[in-house]
């Protein structure tokens, strides 16, 4: 039986090819998606961790040395018998510089011990038992004993007696659990904490751990204005003091030495501080640290641009870890100098003020760890396991004296979730390939049913029973599905190799690729096997004599009879309504710092799938209705020959068109939906990038630049490819706003309205109840007007037309308090993705403060494509940037900085893959339809020829029917594809900052339509050539 099936397939190559082509294309699409997931997922680790500034930070909780500590011991610790008594000793020592207030000692006994009433003493003085309970664990909350204030250097000894309830062997099995807390340190410390390890030893032990590439000390402290001075000048703003080794500076390129070098014993100044003091290398500066007896004199060894050093300025506060809190005036010394100069001074300051809380910003000491990234697995999940193991090792060293910020693991946690989300999304985008493979296999089977059944009838006549026929069918199915799956998987692999390139694809582990290949082959074997076997099995049950009737009249497809299209569409509609009602489409966005990924509601991807399938079937039902009701020439007229025959065949055999229209419709809907999704996705990505940058380019003068950058500098930025440029003043907490009800520190931007309107990526949506042009016109019309963000307006109870007091240039010597009027509201402002509170007129700001310098410039390029933006950025660097220090951020560099979010994925490759196979499958469907027509109707065509129908008219008949199917499928596909695209965009909304604007891909749709028309014409031409070669006498005698 097997050899019969094999020979049958080999000796009917055209039939075998027709059955295989659809399977191969569908399988190639599905397997290609799986390989794409492997290839793109493999680059996610690299991409995700690229922007991580510091992999891990071990931050000391007590940088100024030990404070209060508790020691606990059970006197005479040895084996204890039941009923025996022992003395528990608790010793409180304050090793700090200031008194510890409200010191509470808590000791909850393990179940093996009980407190002996009346045994508690403090320094030999008995302590009362509250309500007969231990004073160290009493009341419903088992609260401890408050021993009041413990002076620096003082010791308090507390004792009580315990009775043993169960025998206790000697050794460390008994867990003593006393804790101590103070008003200054609310979180309780356990007793018997190990003594803190000094920072340099901690660094050495961490550096020796496997998986750690580098470990460096970093110390920093915020100093008040006036802390940094040189002969005759002083920095009037808050200053940042850093302590790190030259190796640290070498490790992080964002710390850019502008002049001189960095030597231990000397100081490195930020460009702004050096300019403010007017000092150069070799000059001397004076550093005054709170609590210091006298200023430290330091020689300047170099000047550095620290304005991009996220390692130094990123917030260390939980929940704000991604905030870049830059202070322009900084001084860097070695960790040894920091220990020598800063730590004792701060300790003295705290001692003098009597409380650690009195010093607003105590120093921070940490070890910054760089993980060895080279052995990290390409899969984010596996890489996470590796970095978590490193983190675990670091935490084991001297625990409890600090906490670990594991930035790289947080990022990889997000990347792992993103990779999983991407896999779900991609599998959804590949699933139609599998369904189409099954559909095409069934379609080919139904087309070839006539010839297959004739052969089966012959076999029956020769004595083959149902079992034999079933076995032949099973073998044929196995061979076709197996060959189709193998060939399709190979084609999918080659396609991805071409799209991603060998370097990206082979980033994935060979086992992963092998697993994907096996999944693809297995899933496709099942899907296409069932699609080939079940219809074949059903066909075997039918009598051969039924063939004629089926060809002539046919029966309605099962989905029509059971109204599956209505049912599925209602299901999808109800699902969408429920999801909308429950806000499932509005999933919250995540934060890399907390390891939270964007919550993509991927289960909702089933909705587009339902709409795709059911929508196509429903629209095909509609087209069939149109065909059935085509106007026919009423008797006694037959009508024009071609129109008369065509209208009758379309009208009366519309069901025979259904499968063709369904096939074309499904493929076109998928293609258009995907193209719409992709173009919307890419546009949304670009819009987000433009919003983040502010326009196409953002030019920030380096603090190291010695050249002036007034507002007029914008004119110099209009280089080739740049159409407009605008100056912007904007920094964090540079303003203070006060209304009649409230006041708050605010972030203010001052803009030149006309050039900003021409340059910035403004959208009307940013201005609730107004438009961008109206809001900016209002600001321009009122020099003392401001635009206020909606949140601030609510907090300060301010509305449009209200007046408020605004402190401009807050914290500088030029700060000015002015009365302003709110002229508009906004909820987002381009160039300030982290939020902005106040927008003022640049001219007004400059007049009031006298400040001429601006913070950055935005520039709009003529060509917004990646190439255009990059070329313009190069032109800026080559022009005004040639003899100046300018940082140019573009929409493209913003994409690269994008953390592991799903928006960073190379969806273009996937779209290329899907588009290619969409085109190929749609061409295959229409070709199969045309050749199906030829197979089923060739006798009709030959009879028409015998009756004298001109060849040209016969061609028109075939073309007309194929064109009807192609056009109906195209229209149905376009309608359903638009709905599919809309739903996909809706599901992926949480990925973007700005709400994505649905984009209709006219070009892609036109290409699809053109290809479908070409495929139709080509198929018809080939079919006609086959028809011409047919022998009429043979065809007419066929039974």
Partner 1 sequence: MSRGSSVSLLGVYKHFQTDAGPVQAVNGIGIEVAPGASVAITGPSGCGKSTLLSLIGALERPSRGRVQIGEVAVSKLDETDRAAIRRELIGFVFQSDNLQPFLTAVENVSLQLALSGADDGYERSLTLLDALGLGGAAGKYPDQLSGGERQRVAVARALVHRPALILADEPTGALDVDNSSVVADLLREAQAEVGATLIVITHDPAVAAGLDRQIALSDGRVTADSKPALSGAVDAAPHAGEVAGGV
Q: Is 552 in the site for partner 1 (CB under 8 A)?
A: yes
CB of 552 to partner 1, least distance (A): 4
Contact code string over 898-937 relative to partner 1, x by CB under 8 A: ----------------------------------------
Report residue 33: phi and psi, to 5°. Answer: -65, -40
Q: In this complex, which beta carbon is closest to partner 1, that of residue 661 or of residue 988?
A: 661
Residues for the chain: how many in total? 1039
Q: Is 459 in the site for partner 1 (CB under 8 A)?
A: no
Q: Is 856 helix (H, G, I), strand (E, B) or coil?
A: strand
Q: Is 1032 in the site for partner 1 (CB under 8 A)?
A: yes
Gap between the Cα atoms of 313 and 379, Å rounded: 30
Q: Is 631 in the site for partner 1 (CB under 8 A)?
A: no
Report residue 926: phi and psi, to 5°. Answer: -70, -35
Among 946, 997, 1006, 1010, binds partner 1 (CB under 8 A): 946
Map the footprint of partner 1 across residues 325-384, applying CB under 8 A. Answer: none
Q: Is 454 in the site for partner 1 (CB under 8 A)?
A: no
Strand ranges for 777-855 from DSSP E = 785-789, 803-808, 816-826, 838-841
CB of 661 to partner 1, least distance (A): 18
* Residue owning tokens 């273009």: 908
Ramachandran category for residue 797: left, alpha or beta (phi over 0 → left; psi -120 to 50 → alpha)? left
Q: In this complex, which beta carbon is closest to partner 1, that of residue 10 or of residue 352?
A: 10
- The dihedral through the CA atoms of 24, 30, 36, 42 has a sign that is negative
Angle between helices 407-447 and 510-541 (to 10 degrees): 30
CB of 617 to partner 1, least distance (A): 24
Q: Is 639 in the site for partner 1 (CB under 8 A)?
A: yes
Q: Beta strand 722-738 with 402-406: parallel, antiparallel or unpaired?
A: unpaired
Contact code string over 586-625 relative to partner 1, x by CB under 8 A: ----------------------------------------
Q: Is 1033 in the site for partner 1 (CB under 8 A)?
A: yes
Contact call for residues 792 and 748 (beta carbons, < 8 A): no
Q: Is 897 in the site for partner 1 (CB under 8 A)?
A: no
Q: Is 548 in the site for partner 1 (CB under 8 A)?
A: yes
Q: In this complex, which beta carbon is closest to partner 1, that of residue 353 or of residue 938?
A: 938
Q: In this complex, which beta carbon is closest to partner 1, that of residue 210 or of residue 636?
A: 636
Gap between the Cα atoms of 241 and 562, Å rounded: 77
Burial of 787 per CB tally in 10 Å (0-12, 13-18, 19+): buried
Contact call for residues 787 and 823 (beta carbons, < 8 A): yes
Q: In this complex, which beta carbon is closest to partner 1, that of residue 132 or of residue 948?
A: 948
Among 128, 635, 801, 882, binds partner 1 (CB under 8 A): 635
Q: In this complex, which beta carbon is closest to partner 1, that of residue 591 or of residue 943?
A: 943
Q: What are the tokens at 704?
A: 């190291």
Q: Is 629 in the site for partner 1 (CB under 8 A)?
A: no
Q: Is 913 helix (H, G, I), strand (E, B) or coil?
A: helix
Contact call for residues 626 and 601 (beta carbons, < 8 A): no
CB of 647 to partner 1, least distance (A): 10
* Residue owning tokens 């750690």: 212
Q: Is 641 in the site for partner 1 (CB under 8 A)?
A: yes
Q: In this complex, which beta carbon is closest to partner 1, that of residue 84 or of residue 455?
A: 455
Q: Is 1037 in the site for partner 1 (CB under 8 A)?
A: yes
The upper half-sphere exposure of residue 145, i.e. CA atoms within 13 Å in the direction of its Cβ, equals 23
Q: In this complex, which beta carbon is closest to partner 1, that of residue 123 or of residue 455?
A: 455
Angle at CA 27, nearest 5°, toward 9 and 1026? 45
Gap between the Cα atoms of 928 and 22, Å rounded: 9
Among 354, 742, 950, 1014, binds partner 1 (CB under 8 A): 950
Q: In this complex, which beta carbon is closest to partner 1, that of residue 253 or of residue 636?
A: 636
Q: Is 578 in the site for partner 1 (CB under 8 A)?
A: no
CB of 630 to partner 1, least distance (A): 12
Angle at CA 604, nearest 5°, toward 598 and 610? 155
Strand partners of residue 221: 241
Which residues, in sequence order, are CB contacts of 734 under 8 Å at separation 6+? 747, 748, 809, 810, 811
Q: In this complex, which beta carbon is closest to partner 1, that of residue 358 or of residue 1030?
A: 1030
CB of 1006 to partner 1, least distance (A): 34
Residues touching partner 1: how many (CB under 8 A)?
A: 36
Gap between the Cα atoms of 627 and 620, Å rounded: 10
Map the footprint of partner 1 across residues 642-701, applying CB under 8 A. Answer: 644-645, 648-649, 652-653
Q: Is 293 in the site for partner 1 (CB under 8 A)?
A: no
CB of 1012 to partner 1, least distance (A): 26
How far lies 1029's CA from each of 447, 811, 966, 1036, in Å?
21, 91, 25, 14
Q: Is 872 in the site for partner 1 (CB under 8 A)?
A: no
Which H helix or E strand runs over 404? strand 402-406
Q: What are the tokens at 331?
A: 């001084």
Q: Is 940 in the site for partner 1 (CB under 8 A)?
A: yes
Gap between the Cα atoms of 465 and 480, Å rounded: 23
Q: In this complex, which beta carbon is closest to partner 1, that of residue 424 or of residue 648?
A: 648
Among 638, 817, 847, 1003, binds partner 1 (CB under 8 A): 638
Q: Is 939 in the site for partner 1 (CB under 8 A)?
A: yes
- Segment near partner 1 (CB under 8 A); pick from 596-604, 683-691, 890-898, 946-954: 946-954
Gap between the Cα atoms of 511 and 427, Å rounded: 19
Among 621, 945, 955, 986, binds partner 1 (CB under 8 A): 945
* DSSP structure string for 65-114: ---EEEEEEETT-S-B-TT-EEEEEEEEEE-SSSPEEEEEEE-PPPTTEE
Strand partners of residue 146: 104
Q: Is 457 in the site for partner 1 (CB under 8 A)?
A: no
Q: In this complex, which beta carbon is closest to partner 1, that of residue 133 or of residue 633?
A: 633
CB of 1024 to partner 1, least distance (A): 12
- Segment near partner 1 (CB under 8 A); pick from 151-159, 174-182, 259-267, 938-946: 938-946
Map the footprint of partner 1 across residues 556-575, applying CB under 8 A. Answer: none
Q: What are the tokens at 542?
A: 């039918």
CB of 489 to partner 1, least distance (A): 34
Angle between helices 641-652 and 606-628 (to 10 degrees): 130
Q: Is 247 in the site for partner 1 (CB under 8 A)?
A: no
CB of 1018 to partner 1, least distance (A): 22
Q: Is 140 in the site for partner 1 (CB under 8 A)?
A: no
CB of 442 to partner 1, least distance (A): 24
* DSSP structure string for 688-733: HHHHHHSSSEEEEE-TT--S--BTTHHHHT--TTEEEEEEEEEEEE
* Residue owning tokens 């850019």: 256
Q: Is 467 in the site for partner 1 (CB under 8 A)?
A: no
Q: In this complex, which beta carbon is closest to partner 1, that of residue 352 or of residue 552?
A: 552
CB of 15 to partner 1, least distance (A): 15
Q: In this complex, which beta carbon is closest to partner 1, that of residue 173 or of residue 543?
A: 543
Q: Is 637 in the site for partner 1 (CB under 8 A)?
A: yes
Strand partners of residue 74: 88
Contact call for residues 696 and 724 (beta carbons, < 8 A): no
Tell me whether the omega of the peptide bond preceding residue 636 falls within 30 degrees of 0, making it cis: yes
Q: In this complex, which beta carbon is closest to partner 1, that of residue 294 or of residue 1037?
A: 1037
> What residues make contact with partner 1 under the rule CB under 8 A?
548-549, 551-553, 635-639, 641, 644-645, 648-649, 652-653, 939-940, 943-951, 1031-1034, 1036-1039
């Amino acid at each position: 039986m097997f050899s019969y099936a094999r020979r049958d397939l080999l000796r009917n190559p055209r039939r075998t090819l027709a059955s295989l082509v659809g399977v191969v294309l569908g399988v190639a699409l599905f397997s290609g998606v799986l390989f794409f997931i492997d290839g793109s997922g493999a680059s996610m680790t690299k991409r995700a961790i690229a922007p991580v500034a510091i992999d891990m930070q071990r931050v000391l909780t007590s940088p100024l040395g030990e404070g209060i500590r508790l020691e606990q011991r059970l006197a005479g610790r040895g084996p204890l018998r039941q009923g025996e008594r022992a003395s528990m000793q608790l010793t409180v020592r304050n090793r700090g510089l200031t008194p510890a207030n409200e010191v509470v000692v808590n000791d909850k006994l393990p179940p093996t011990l009980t407190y002996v009433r009346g045994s508690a003493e403090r320094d030999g003085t008995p302590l009362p038992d509250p309500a007969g309970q231990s004073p160290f664990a009493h009341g419903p909350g088992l609260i401890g004993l408050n021993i009041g204030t413990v002076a620096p250097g003082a010791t308090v000894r507390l004792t009580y007696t315990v009775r043993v309830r169960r025998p206790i062997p000697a050794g460390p099995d008994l867990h003593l659990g006393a804790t101590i807390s103070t008003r200054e340190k609310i979180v309780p410390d356990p007793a018997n904490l190990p003594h803190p390890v000094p920072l340099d030893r901690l660094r050495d032990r961490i550096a020796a751990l496997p998986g750690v590439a580098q470990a460096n000390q970093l110390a920093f402290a915020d100093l008040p204005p006036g802390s940094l001075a040189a002969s005759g000048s002083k920095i009037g703003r808050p200053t940042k003091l850093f302590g790190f080794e030259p190796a640290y500076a070498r490790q992080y390129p964002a710390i850019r030495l502008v002049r001189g070098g960095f030597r231990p014993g000397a100081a490195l100044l930020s460009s702004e501080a050096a300019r403010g003091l007017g000092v150069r290398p070799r000059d001397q500066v004076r550093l005054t640290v709170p609590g210091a007896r006298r200023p430290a004199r330091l020689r300047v060894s170099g000047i550095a641009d620290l304005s991009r050093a996220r390692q130094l300025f990123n917030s260390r506060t939980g929940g704000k870890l991604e905030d870049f809190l830059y202070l322009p005036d900084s001084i860097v010394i070695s960790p040894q100098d920091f220990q020598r100069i800063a730590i004792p001074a701060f300790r003295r300051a705290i001692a003098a003020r009597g409380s650690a809380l009195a010093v607003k910003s105590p120093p921070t000491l940490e070890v910054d760890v760089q993980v060895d990234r080279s052995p990290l697995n390409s899969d984010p999940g596996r890489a996470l396991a590796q970095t978590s193991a490193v983190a675990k090792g670091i935490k084991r060293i001297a625990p409890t004296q600090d906490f670990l910020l594991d930035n790289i693991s947080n990022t990889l946690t997000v990347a792992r979730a993103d990779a999983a989300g991407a896999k779900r999304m991609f599998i959804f985008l590949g699933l139609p390939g599998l369904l189409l493979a099954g559909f095409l296999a069934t379609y080919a089977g139904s087309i070839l049913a006539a010839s297959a059944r004739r052969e089966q009838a012959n076999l029956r006549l020769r004595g083959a029973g149902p079992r034999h026929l079933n076995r032949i069918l099973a073998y044929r199915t196995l061979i076709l599905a197996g060959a189709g799956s193998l060939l399709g998987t190979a084609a999918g692999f080659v396609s991805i190799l071409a799209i991603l390139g060998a370097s990206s694809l082979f980033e994935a582990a060979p086992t992963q690729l092998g697993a994907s290949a096996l999944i693809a082959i297995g899933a496709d074997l099942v899907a296409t096997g069932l699609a080939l076997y079940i219809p074949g099995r059903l066909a075997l049950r039918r009598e051969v004599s039924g063939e004629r009737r089926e060809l002539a009249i046919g029966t309605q497809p099962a989905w029509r009879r059971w109204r599956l299209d209505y049912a599925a569409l209602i299901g999808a509609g109800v699902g969408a309504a429920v999801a909308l009602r429950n806000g499932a489409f509005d999933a919250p966005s995540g934060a890399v710092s907390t390891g939270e990924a964007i919550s993509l509601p991927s289960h909702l991807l089933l909705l587009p799938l339902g709409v795709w399938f059911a929508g196509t079937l429903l629209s095909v039902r509609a087209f069939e209705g149109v065909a059935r009701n085509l106007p026919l020439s009423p008797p006694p007229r037959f009508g024009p020959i071609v129109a008369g025959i065509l209208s009758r065949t379309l009208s009366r055999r519309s069901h025979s068109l259904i499968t063709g229209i369904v096939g074309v419709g499904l493929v076109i809907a998928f293609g258009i939906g995907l193209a719409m999704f992709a173009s919307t996705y890419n546009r949304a990505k670009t819009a987000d990038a433009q919003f983040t940058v502010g326009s196409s380019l953002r030019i920030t003068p380096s603090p190291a630049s010695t050249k002036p950058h007034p507002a007029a500098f914008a004119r110099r930025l209009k280089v080739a490819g740049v159409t407009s440029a605008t100056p912007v003043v904007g920094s964090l907490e540079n303003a203070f706003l006060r209304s009649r009800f409230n006041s708050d520190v605010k972030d203010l931007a001052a803009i030149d309205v006309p050039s900003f309107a021409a340059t910035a990526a403004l959208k009307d949506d940013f201005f609730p109840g107004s438009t961008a042009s109206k809001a900016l016109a209002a600001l321009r019309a009122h020099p003392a007007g401001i635009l206020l963000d909606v949140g601030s307006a609510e907090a300060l109870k301010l509305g449009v037309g209200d007046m408020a007091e605004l402190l401009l240039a807050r914290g500088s010597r030029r700060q000015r308090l002015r009365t302003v009027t709110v002229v508009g509201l906004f909820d987002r402002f381009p160039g300030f993705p982290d939020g902005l509170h106040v927008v003022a007129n640049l001219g007004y700001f400059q007049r009031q403060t006298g400040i001429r310098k601006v913070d950055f410039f935005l520039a709009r390029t003529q060509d917004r494509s990646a190439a255009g933006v990059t070329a313009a950025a190069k032109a800026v660097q080559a022009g005004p940037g040639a003899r100046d220090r300018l940082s140019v951020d573009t929409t493209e560099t913003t994409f690269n900085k994008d953390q592991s979010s799903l928006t960073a994925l190379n969806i273009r490759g996937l779209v290329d893959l899907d588009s290619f196979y969409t085109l190929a499958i749609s061409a295959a469907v229409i070709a199969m339809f045309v050749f199906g027509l030829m197979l089923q109707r060739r006798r009709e065509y030959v009879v028409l020829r015998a009756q004298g129908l001109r060849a040209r008219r016969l061609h028109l008949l075939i073309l007309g029917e194929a064109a009807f199917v192609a056009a109906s499928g195209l229209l149905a596909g376009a309608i359903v594809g638009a709905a599919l695209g809309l739903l996909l965009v809706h599901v992926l909304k949480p990925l973007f900052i700005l709400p994505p604007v649905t984009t209709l891909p006219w070009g892609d749709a036109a290409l699809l339509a053109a290809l479908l028309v070409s495929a139709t014409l080509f198929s018809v031409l080939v079919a006609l050539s086959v028809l011409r070669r047919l022998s009429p006498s043979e065809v007419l005698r066929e039974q």
